[in-house]
Structure 1
Amino acid sequence: MSVPSRLGRYPVRRRIGAGAFATVWLAYDEQLDCPVAIKVLADNWTEDQHVRQRFIEEGRFLRKVESPHIVSVYDAGELEDSRPFLVMSYADQGTLADRLELEPLTVSQSLHVIGQVGAGLHALHQRGVLHRDVKPANVLFRTVEVGGERQVSAMLGDLGLGKAMDMSSRLTMIGGTPSFIAPEQAQGEPLDGRADQYSLAALAYLMLAGRAPYDHVSLSAAADPGPLPPLDNGLPDDAEKVLATALSKDRGGRYPDVPSFVEALDSALVDHTEEPPTWIAVDEDLTRPEPRVDSNASPRRAQRVRAAAGASALVVGLVAGYSAQRLVATEQTIWDSTNSISVTVPDDWTRVVDAEPWRAPGGTTDEPSVAAGDAEGWNGITDPGEGIFIGVLPGESLPTGVPERPECGASGGAVPGRHLGGESITVEFTGCSDDGGITIERTVQVNADQLLRVQVRAGDRAVAYDVIDSITTPGL
């Protein structure tokens, strides 16, 4: 993708990251003399009025809130090709996901982040907006000056799933990341601020324990979480009780609001914080306008700088109810338009995404499906690329075989197995293109009267199976 010289009145420096629905560019506001992040709707979604409206709504939700701990929208506009864009605050210090990959936070640092994210959520709730996707990749860090000293401040980004509270009772589309969403959200029930409180508590548990409280891979698992695992890290029982309260399966057992939870956790850990408090240090490498990696830098430093290149995993977000488990430049989780199927794919595979239902050959009804690839025609015979197609079709038993691939040189034969809780058959094809690679065809009996058809094309066998094994079907 070529770098545009300008977006609206803003000169562009470089691309920060790209997702299935938007690209984010680092640009410069010459009038205000500061860097900004510009989020532009992907051109293949310009004509989709539903996605377009959700994109615009994100900007409107963000504009409702005046808080240093919520990503700000400074401007909005439309390019010559009719694509809308949002001009937003730039997170020059990466994300919480980036930081936790490098090193754990101290108790004081964790409380510092929890308090600021909690303040951002409270500001949203006071304006009648739910976030609905609080997770490490959506906690962004930026440099601020306090008392003449530079500090790192946390803010919440990506309101692609955000909803006005007065709309939540009519909400039918389920969104969010399974390991961090409240049970009532996973079940598609009407929501209030206690759903965001649950997500914040899951985030707090992750920072304090070094692991998430749950490792849900589907919405059905998130809808029925088991007992909270113990922290097992020497922190007081009172802290564990606070987290257990905020993570109650029944929302009626949680704190009445986010500030009450934050205050209770602060009180429980008051004797376990440093004096004076230790804030997260500013990383000078991340503030540079261009990402640099010094060949003499340590591996940890190089990793940190590489993370910054996609630092604003920031606000790339998947809009219109699609959720992403890791909004970094390596992989993304995409959903079909009915939230029945999800799959995690390499970032390059989201250049072409189709989340609309399909009708199987010979079928009479539209069924859920999702496809993603690295280019138009990725699944064609001529000039094939990499990607995946997943589609539901009616069927009470597995077929005797899977579609043939006459363009491929060899087939490993049908291999029976069990996947997604049902019987399956899988066939590997090789020699399908001049540059090698593999094509996998799989059919799964996901329930009594539905089959799941899967086709994966990849240049690497391990990548192909990583993708195919990431498929979930919470809505089937």
Structure 2
Amino acid sequence: MSAPSRLGRYPVRRRIGSGAFATVWLAYDEQLDSPVAIKVLADNWTEDLHARQRFIEEGRFLRKVESPHVVSVYDAGELPDSRPFLVMSYADQGTLADRLEIEPLTVSQGLHVIGQVGAGLHALHQRGVLHRDVKPANVLFRTVEHNGTPQVSAMLGDLGLGKAMDMSSRLTVIGGTPSFVSPEQAQGEPIDARADQFSLAALTYLLLAGRAPYNHTSLRAAADPEPPEPLDSGLPAETEAVLLKALSKDREERYADVPAFVAALTTSLAGHADEPPTWIPIDPDLTHPAPKPGSSFASDDFADELTSLSSRRLRKAEGLSRNRLMAIGTGAVVIGLLGGYASHQVMLTDETIDNGTLTVTVPKTWAEAVDIDRWTPPGADDDYASISAGTGVGWNGNENPGQGVFLGLLPGEELPTTVPQHPECDAPRAPENNSRDGEAYVTVQFNGCRHGGITIERIIQKTTNQLLWVQVRAPDRATANVVLDSITTKGM
């Protein structure tokens, strides 16, 4: 969907994100002089009466609740094409999922988040509403003033699966996120507030252990979960007991309500969670404005924005779980004569990373930090396939530089005249313009880089309207060429 200039009476600034059912835009309330988030039903669901009803119900559920820890709905309307929209409070500090992409929370920060999310859930439950999809992406952060000091506060959003308790007691549509959903919800049984308590406990486990208690890939698996692995985080045994109680398969064994669970958790962590003055720092990078539509990839500003986006996106949390490497398959030994290095044979134990659209083979040491999530390029309205793989957290940053590769698709009808620059390296060589298999590409090499090798920037014209951006940090050009030559795309 292209960016509209206005949604109802609200001028639109940029797209915040999108999902299967809706797109969220950052807009401005000119009358109240305040930014707002506007959630619009996706156009492919316009004629689906059930989807429309669920969308409208979300707004009604949220309007029932007055809590600083639940997203507020200020207004509602309908576009000329009959799609409904909701005007909501703007989460200027992104989501918990965003935060966990950058770094893990401390025990104090995690406890504070759970306390605030728990307060939001309890407010919903008191109004007879179940959330049914508590997970990191649905915990939103916004800046608030506390005693004259700006701080970050958590609130629950996205009640797309929300249900009134009396409706859920009679008929429950199976839904939820497998790694966080309660067994009874996954089985399609009638549910109550204890289902949300289970999901909150799963979220707590993630924040304290650095990994989710379950790695279910389907609701069928979530319907009969095995006991989670021990926390192994140096926390008290009492804390683990609290979590196991709230994660009981039998809802009758859980706490009576969410406040009881949060109180028991807080008590168990006494002496292990000191409240920080500002419990979580404000991060302006999380909501860095995108370039205006129509920005040219050839502009220096756009190249700088690419560098900034990729650097922030790849500052992954320490201890990134190897469970996220499910898309990696161990390859064979690569022995080859590389273009321009006919006398230089390289032998590497490699791993191949495949996200369904892009595939790349990297040295095994580059698979310590892998991300196959999609990304939104600067100025784009949609997200695109991408892969990041490196020797460690923040491998392509300047604080702890390492080696690795980032590749991502992005819109573009012609090759750029400039690429992201690297002040941590020597001056770049002259651009190399080539073509292979009918695809034109430009390559720029930077030598003498802080990570102890070279950096390669390559842009490939994959289709008439799509480019592939590749950044490689390698010890030498031979290794870089092995990686570059291994890249393939599917379905384009």
What TM-score does the superposition give when structure 2 sets the normalisation length? 0.61
- The two structures, once aligned, show a CA RMSD in angstroms of 3.0
1:116 aligns with 2:116: yes
Q: Identify if the C-alpha distance between structure 1 residues 32 and 224 changes in structure 2 by more than 3 Å, giving closer, same or farther.
A: same
Query: What is residue 312 of structure 2 aligned with on the other side?
Result: 303
Query: What is residue 363 of structure 1 aligned with on the other side?
Result: none
Q: Give, in whole Å, the separation in 2 of the partners of 1:290 and 1:147.
A: 32
Q: Please give the per-residue CA displacement for 1:90-136, whole angstroms capped at 9, x wherever unaligned.
A: 11111111111110100000000000000000000000000000001
The one-letter code of the counterpart of 2:121 is L
Give the C-alpha shift of residue 348 in structure 1.
5.9
Q: Give, in whole Å, the separation in 2 of the partners of 1:297 and 1:30.
A: 31
Q: Give, in whole Å, the separation in 2 of the partners of 1:133 and 1:64.
A: 18
Contact 1:108–1:278 (8 Å) recurs in 2: no
The one-letter code of the counterpart of 1:284 is P
Contact 1:70–1:120 (8 Å) recurs in 2: yes
Query: What is residue 253 of structure 2 aligned with on the other side?
Result: 253
What secondary structure is seen at the aligned counterpart in 2 of 1:272?
coil
Query: What is residue 186 of structure 1 aligned with on the other side?
Result: 186
Q: Identify if the C-alpha distance between structure 1 residues 263 and 277 changes in structure 2 by more than 3 Å, giving closer, same or farther.
A: farther
Contact 2:133–2:181 (8 Å) recurs in 1: yes
Q: Give, in whole Å, the separation in 2 of the partners of 1:90 and 1:296.
A: 23
Q: Give, in whole Å, the separation in 1 of the partners of 2:306 and 2:5.
A: 31
The one-letter code of the counterpart of 1:81 is D
Q: Give, in whole Å, the separation in 2 of the partners of 1:45 and 1:275.
A: 45
Q: Identify if the C-alpha distance between structure 1 residues 232 and 294 changes in structure 2 by more than 3 Å, giving closer, same or farther.
A: farther
The one-letter code of the counterpart of 1:303 is R
| 1:75-224 matched pairs, under 5 angstroms | 75-224=75-224
Query: What is residue 285 of structure 2 aligned with on the other side?
Result: 285
Query: What is residue 338 of structure 1 aligned with on the other side?
Result: none
Q: Identify if the C-alpha distance between structure 1 residues 89 and 238 changes in structure 2 by more than 3 Å, giving closer, same or farther.
A: same
The one-letter code of the counterpart of 1:264 is A
Q: Identify if the C-alpha distance between structure 1 residues 293 and 157 changes in structure 2 by more than 3 Å, giving closer, same or farther.
A: farther
Q: Please give the per-residue CA displacement for 1:257-282, whole angstroms capped at 9, x wherever unaligned.
A: 00000000000001101254551101
Contact 2:102–2:314 (8 Å) recurs in 1: no
Q: Give, in whole Å, the separation in 2 of the partners of 1:66 and 1:329.
A: 35
Query: What is residue 426 of structure 1 aligned with on the other side?
Result: none
Q: Give, in whole Å, the separation in 1 of the partners of 2:252 and 2:224.
A: 16
Q: List runs of 5+ in structure 2 lacking aligned partners.
A: 292-300, 317-370, 377-381, 386-461, 465-486
What secondary structure is seen at the aligned counterpart in 1 of 2:217?
coil
The one-letter code of the counterpart of 2:125 is H
Q: Please give the per-residue CA displacement for 1:208-228, whole angstroms capped at 9, x wherever unaligned.
A: 000001101111211111122
What secondary structure is seen at the aligned counterpart in 1 of 2:197?
helix
Give the C-alpha shift of residue 285 in structure 1.
3.0
Give the C-alpha shift of residue 287 in structure 1.
5.0
The one-letter code of the counterpart of 2:57 is E
Give the C-alpha shift of residue 22 in structure 1.
1.5
Q: Give, in whole Å, the separation in 2 of the partners of 1:7 and 1:128.
A: 31
Give the C-alpha shift of residue 294 in structure 1.
8.9
Q: Give, in whole Å, the separation in 2 of the partners of 1:38 and 1:128.
A: 25
The one-letter code of the counterpart of 2:143 is T
Q: Give, in whole Å, the separation in 2 of the partners of 1:234 and 1:219.
A: 31
Q: Give, in whole Å, the separation in 1 of the partners of 2:184 and 2:145.
A: 39
Q: Give, in whole Å, the separation in 1 of the partners of 2:249 and 2:128.
A: 23
The one-letter code of the counterpart of 1:257 is D
The sequence identity of aligned pairs, in percent, is: 75
Query: What is residue 34 of structure 2 aligned with on the other side?
Result: 34
Q: Please give the per-residue CA displacement for 1:2-32, whole angstroms capped at 9, x wherever unaligned.
A: 3211111101111112222221111000111
Q: Give, in whole Å, the separation in 1 of the partners of 2:132 and 2:104.
A: 25
Q: Give, in whole Å, the separation in 1 of the partners of 2:278 and 2:310.
A: 21
Q: Identify if the C-alpha distance between structure 1 residues 462 and 3 changes in structure 2 by more than 3 Å, giving closer, same or farther.
A: closer
Give the C-alpha shift of residue 347 in structure 1.
5.2
Contact 1:102–1:300 (8 Å) recurs in 2: no
Contact 1:19–1:347 (8 Å) recurs in 2: no
Q: Give, in whole Å, the separation in 2 of the partners of 1:174 and 1:52.
A: 18
Contact 2:239–2:265 (8 Å) recurs in 1: yes
Q: Identify if the C-alpha distance between structure 1 residues 434 and 7 changes in structure 2 by more than 3 Å, giving closer, same or farther.
A: closer
The one-letter code of the counterpart of 2:207 is M
The one-letter code of the counterpart of 1:214 is Y
Q: Give, in whole Å, the separation in 1 of the partners of 2:152 and 2:303.
A: 23
Query: What is residue 240 of structure 1 aligned with on the other side?
Result: 240
Q: Identify if the C-alpha distance between structure 1 residues 80 and 262 changes in structure 2 by more than 3 Å, giving closer, same or farther.
A: same
Query: What is residue 70 of structure 2 aligned with on the other side?
Result: 70
Q: Greater shift after overlay, 214-223 or 250-259?
A: 214-223
The one-letter code of the counterpart of 1:274 is D
Q: Identify if the C-alpha distance between structure 1 residues 298 and 277 changes in structure 2 by more than 3 Å, giving closer, same or farther.
A: farther
What secondary structure is seen at the aligned counterpart in 2 of 1:16?
strand
Higher relative contact order (CA 8 A, sep 6+): 1
Give the C-alpha shift of residue 296 in structure 1.
9.5
Aligned length: 325
Q: Give, in whole Å, the separation in 2 of the partners of 1:19 and 1:277.
A: 35
Query: What is residue 352 of structure 2 aligned with on the other side?
Result: none
Contact 1:205–1:213 (8 Å) recurs in 2: yes
Contact 2:202–2:213 (8 Å) recurs in 1: yes
Q: Please give the per-residue CA displacement for 1:149-173, whole angstroms capped at 9, x wherever unaligned.
A: 0001001110000000000122242
Query: What is residue 25 of structure 2 aligned with on the other side?
Result: 25
What secondary structure is seen at the aligned counterpart in 2 of 1:12?
strand
Q: Identify if the C-alpha distance between structure 1 residues 285 and 196 changes in structure 2 by more than 3 Å, giving closer, same or farther.
A: same
Q: Identify if the C-alpha distance between structure 1 residues 298 and 107 changes in structure 2 by more than 3 Å, giving closer, same or farther.
A: farther
Contact 2:165–2:192 (8 Å) recurs in 1: yes
Q: Give, in whole Å, the separation in 2 of the partners of 1:55 and 1:142.
A: 23
Q: Please give the per-residue CA displacement for 1:218-249, whole angstroms capped at 9, x wherever unaligned.
A: 11211111122110010000000000000001
Q: Please give the per-residue CA displacement for 1:139-191, whole angstroms capped at 9, x wherever unaligned.
A: 11111111000001001110000000000122242000110001101111000
Query: What is residue 45 of structure 1 aligned with on the other side?
Result: 45
Query: What is residue 434 of structure 2 aligned with on the other side?
Result: none
Q: List runs of 5+ in structure 1 lacking aligned partners.
A: 308-325, 332-345, 350-432, 436-459, 465-476
Give the C-alpha shift of residue 192 in structure 1.
0.4
